[in-house]
Chain A
Amino acid sequence: MSDFEAFPELDRLVHEPGRLAIAAVLNAVDQADFLFLLKQTGLTRGNLSSHTAKLEAAGYIDIEKTFVEKVPRTVYRLTPAGQKALNRYRRHMRKVLEALED
């Protein structure tokens, strides 16, 4: 298989820049709330909501609603499946980029 053939194997769900940024942030910290993701990814509220919903539907992130001192906090976490998908995506993308550079 040539390196370019890795391209169709790319996980389209993770490949989208907004979702990739969300997965990367959640890979760096164990958990984060909506505001943290908003600030770190630079996405709009609407985009962030829609991307997190897609990642949750795919089983890549967990969403937990909690209360801290009576204030609601929605906490997002990358699931083991999400972590695996991110690592796999990185491997595939590296191959593709290396092939493009050669």
Chain B
Amino acid sequence: MELPIDPDAVERSARRADYRDGLLELFAAVLMATLAAGWALQPGIVGLLSLPFIFFGWKVINIAKERITYPRIGYSGYNPERQQTNAKGMLGFFALAIAIVTVMILVFGESSIANELRRAAPLFSGIAFAGGFRYLAEKSGMARHHLLAVASVVTGLAVWWRDDGNDYSAMPIFLLIMAAFLLVMGVASLAIFLMRNPAHE
């Protein structure tokens, strides 16, 4: 026997509503592409490049939501402090994973250990990202976030397996592939969201 309204199902639906627009994926795609460019140009600046995303990223997402999401499905949110902490935590997690890999490679210089670290960097990042996407999937309950977790591990493994560690190309390739995944998912989610939720009159 069930209640005429299942409060648990209503709560789940309300929590997921905020993730349906794909804006978080699009923003993460920009972050990954920027970091990939940083790795390709000068690995030392990757940490620096990620700072604006950590400190101002949530603001950009909020502005986009005010214009795209809230006029269509209405506004919902955690109180501003919790919202800011969540967004910073998520972006900080991704940036930290990349920063650790960068620092380790810079510390070990051009030794053979550095070659191995360079090779393993995409694999390490892939596993770390999978943790982030799994956390997101727990919150959103969306299959696409589970898929992203699997994709990041598979991509990390594939790039690690193909790379010989002689140059810095593995990480930019890994990040670009992840950016492409995120971009495709973000655009598809946004398109579906816009089709299903026309602007409210």
- Does the CB pair A36–B17 fall under 8 Å? yes
List the interface of chain A (C-beta within 8 A of B): 17, 20-21, 23-25, 27-41, 68-69, 73, 75, 86, 90, 93, 97, 100-101
Whether B75 pairs with A75 at a CB distance below 8 angstroms is: yes
- A6 CB → nearest B CB, Å: 14
**Residues of A contacting B75 in the complex (Cβ-Cβ under 8 angstroms):** 31-33, 35-36, 73, 75
| Mask: chain B, 1-26; 1 = CB below 8 Å from A; 0 = not | 11111011011111101100000000
In the complex, are the beta carbons of A97 and B1 less than 8 A apart? yes
Annotate B108-123 by CB proximity to A: 1 below 8 A, 0 otherwise: 0000000000000000
Q: Write the B69-81 contact mask toward A (1 if CB under 8 angstroms, else 0).
A: 0100111111100
A10 to chain B, nearest CB (A): 11
What are the residues of chain A within 8 A of B76 when measuring CB–CB? Answer: 25, 29, 31-33, 36
Also in contact, A17 and B78, with CB within 8 A (given A24-B11, A40-B17): no
B66 at the A/B interface (Cβ < 8 Å)?
Answer: yes
The interface residues of chain A lying within 8 Å CB-to-CB of B15 are 28-29
Q: In the complex, which residues of chain B have a beta carbon less than 8 angstroms from the beta carbon of A41? A: 10
* In the complex, chain A residues whose CB is within 8 Å of the CB of B82: 30
Chain B residue, CB-CB nearest to A35: B74
Q: Is B200 an interface residue (CB 8 A)?
A: yes
Contact of B77 among A30, A35, A93 (CB under 8 A): A30
* Contact assessment for B1 and A29 in the assembled complex, using a CB-CB cutoff below 8 Å: no
**A97 — which chain B residues lie within 8 A by C-beta?**
1-3
Closest to A22 in B: B10
Name the one of B10, B66, B70, B79 contacting A30, with C-beta atoms under 8 angstroms: B79
Known interface pairs A97-B1, A100-B1. Does A27 touch B74 (Cβ–Cβ under 8 Å)?
no
- Could you tell me if B79 and A40 are in contact, using CB atoms closer than 8 angstroms? no
**Nearest Cβ on chain B to A32's Cβ, whole angstroms:** 4
On whether the beta carbons of A28 and B10 are closer than 8 Å, the reply is yes
Which of B3, B7, B66, B76 has its CB near the most chain A CB atoms (within 10 A)?
B76
Q: List 30 A-B contacts (CB under 8 A).
A: A17-B4, A17-B5, A20-B3, A20-B5, A24-B14, A25-B76, A28-B11, A29-B76, A30-B77, A30-B78, A31-B75, A32-B74, A33-B70, A33-B74, A33-B76, A35-B74, A35-B75, A36-B73, A36-B74, A36-B75, A38-B74, A39-B17, A39-B73, A40-B10, A40-B17, A40-B74, A41-B10, A68-B66, A93-B3, A97-B1
Chain A residues, CB < 8 A from B8: 24
